[in-house]
Amino acid sequence: GAGVSQSPSNKVTEKGKDVELRCDPISGHTALYWYRQRLGQGLEFLIYFQGNSAPDKSGLPSDRFSAERTGESVSTLTIQRTQQEDSAVYLCASSLAGRVEGWNTIYFGEGSWLTVV
């Protein structure tokens, strides 16, 4: 596609339910990233994929969070047993390769706004 696509755009869920957030990166981009942004704050790194492997998942806040990527394309971020503190915008980004350099800009999606009530 033309850009990074995320769905759903907005999700309201009840505390304790599981949610899945989807990311379609730019075609051909091998690197994919998930970030979380709480209201009024900067972005927190969650996980980085190179191809279908996740060499760095150090930012996942707890074992309720997991992510996978298939076909070196689509990625899904799953949050189990959601808590109110999970409310945030979840941003996905992709780049040609894993290195953040001048020739390798990271492109962000519009994000999925998750509200846990």
- Interacting residues with other proteins (CB under 8 A): 4, 31, 33, 35, 37, 39-45, 48, 50, 56, 89, 91, 93, 98-102, 105-111
Give min distance, CB of 100 to other proteins, in A: 4
45 vs 80, beta carbon nearer other proteins: 45
60 vs 93, beta carbon nearer other proteins: 93
Distances (CA, A) of 113 to 17, 39, 41, 45, 100: 16, 10, 14, 16, 25
74 vs 106, beta carbon nearer other proteins: 106
For 113, list phi and psi in degrees, rounded to 5: -90, 115
Give min distance, CB of 8 to other proteins, in A: 13
42 vs 71, beta carbon nearer other proteins: 42
CA angle 52, 34, 105 (to 5 degrees): 85
Q: For residue 28, how many C-alpha atoms fall within 13 Å in the half-sphere facing its CB?
A: 5
Helix, strand, or coil (residue 84)? helix
